[in-house]
Chains A and B, each alone.
Chain A
């Protein structure tokens, strides 16, 4: 039982990260109807940026804040330079975002090399144990930060004027434009949101899982799987899907085989795509069709 609880806790911690990245996917998808295949790179970039800043002597909190802001700006730039020009063609959008991912990954390899860059844990390296279950302190940071970010995002989308405009744009871009909502700005906001949320995910997991130039790919795909499980474009579904995926993955790795751990996520992806493509909670704005 202790073993099970241990696996479950680790799974939920990883699941939080998947959930955050999945939320990033939904922010971009809702604003642009593009699936950003470079989503995972935001997390990687932020973690490496923060690690470098800490190494250069910046206080941890400042380093993290700067990294998150920088990645958000990079995302806006990417949208302006590459993605806005792709038009509405799905295939072209996919290939362009793949290209963006390759470029970001290549640049990261140039700047930071191929070695993992360590980021110190936020409140010391120790762990807490209760009832025989050992939890690293950083894991608590992950759980707490995820809860706060999700709550802020929820408040932004449902309570603020800008958030309402963003949702209107997601439901029907043309109608929103006719109501005077600047859809171009909403696209930028979508990419900014996805960049910052992804960056936060990367920074909080970096002390537990070492990050290097190619860590973003796997994170991005896992985030997408979480989206599919929860229902594409649905932020609540994305969070739920992340937790579910994280727990399944760690439990399967613990009880079956750790080598095939990665394949489990992909098999889940295929299963959900084929059996329930709308995900558990249904696609966001599906009612419009």
Chain B
């Protein structure tokens, strides 16, 4: 895609996103607005995981740990050093990226199952530390009375006021990730994912690529966690457990790897589905697990690709814009 086309695409996506958010904001439905903030905050760590798992092929069950590092890091820095939340946010993001980068030196000596278990162990160790190190983290009760983020002396206490910030950050994150996967570095990432031996033979330092992506993914997760902490005003170890890592895994699996923006699809599905399932009580977990299995068995390229495939199989008269699709097919086959 040419650069001007890319810019046009980014702009149109920005406008669509802004229109959707504005519509939600004007509807003045607190429930919808709250859900949209949650979506924006979920999307950040999910983008990071998509870069690491989708594009670089390195499974991680430890993404929740970096979200936790970001959240607790920002809150502790703000409270102990009397920092403005903006500075603590930036510091916590850097801290999370650095933690991820250092752990990358350790865990990327491993592959496949071993990598999955090592990252799982990291997530479990962090969770244990958050629960047990009471003097610093407040133990299972967590930390409350967290300062909100403020812009020009105006505190973003409301969901409605926080919404633009969350999604602006999310949009910037998406654009950065999109740019990255199209760049030469993105090609290196995909090569590492496809075949490490080939990557090395092309002069790509596979281990370094993985570490860099891990650091970036940690930064996304940390930023998401820090924003979450200052938005909700209270943190405890519970949201940063392995269950959250698995949720992120499902988001990335649903979105697939055909584009960074598909992560948003996964986020919306997961957040909305978990809302729908809430009245079902305990049954929600079961349906959740089944969804994970079915997606993994039947939609190997992600649910977006699967839906697109289904769409192509529809009889022509049911498909708006089918002619354009036909033209496109004709061109690719020629």
Contact = CB atoms under 8 A, between A and B. Distances in A.
B213 to A, nearest CB: 15
- Chain B, interface SS category: helix
A103 B289 contact: yes
Nearest to B128: A263
Contacts of B92: none
A30 to B, nearest CB: 13
Nearest to B129: A263
B220 to A, nearest CB: 20
Given A106-B285, A277-B110, A228 B117 contact: yes
Contacts of B286: 102-103, 106-107, 110
Interface stretch (B259-267, B290-298, B306-314): B290-298
Given A94-B116, A99-B296, A269-B117, A106 B109 contact: no
A4 interface: no
A257 B117 CA distance: 24
A91 B117 contact: no
Contact of B253 (A90, A95, A109, A257): A95
Given A270-B106, A274-B109, A221 B114 contact: no
Given A263-B124, A266-B121, A270-B121, A99 B53 contact: no
A277 B114 contact: yes
A273 B292 contact: no
Contact of B122 (A100, A257, A270): A270
Among A82, A94, A109, A259, max chain B CB count under 10 A is at: A94
Contacts of B291: 99
A261 B289 CA distance: 29
Contact of B125 (A99, A105, A263, A274): A263
Nearest to B124: A266
A269 B289 contact: no
B296 A95 contact: yes
A35 B117 contact: yes
B293 A260 contact: no
B125 A91 contact: no
A269 B296 contact: no
A86 interface: yes
Contact of A267 (B57, B125, B246, B253): B125
Contacts of A262: 124, 128
Given A102-B285, A109-B282, A273-B117, A94 B59 contact: yes
Contacts of A147: none
Contacts of A94: 59, 112-113, 116
A26 to B, nearest CB: 13
A166 interface: no
Interface in B267-299: 282-286, 288-293, 296-297
Contacts of B282: 106, 109-110
B296 A86 contact: yes
Among A86, A90, A91, max chain B CB count under 10 A is at: A91
Given A109-B282, A259-B132, A35 B297 contact: no
The 9 closest A-B pairs by CB, nearest first: A102-B289, A106-B285, A99-B292, A103-B289, A106-B286, A99-B293, A266-B121, A90-B112, A263-B128
28 contacts: A89-B300, A91-B57, A91-B112, A92-B300, A95-B249, A95-B296, A99-B289, A99-B292, A100-B289, A102-B286, A103-B286, A103-B289, A103-B293, A105-B289, A106-B284, A109-B285, A110-B282, A110-B283, A262-B124, A263-B132, A266-B122, A266-B125, A270-B118, A270-B122, A270-B125, A273-B117, A274-B109, A274-B118
Interface of B: 53, 57, 59, 106, 109-110, 112-114, 116-118, 120-122, 124-125, 128-129, 131-132, 246, 249, 253, 282-286, 288-293, 296-297, 300
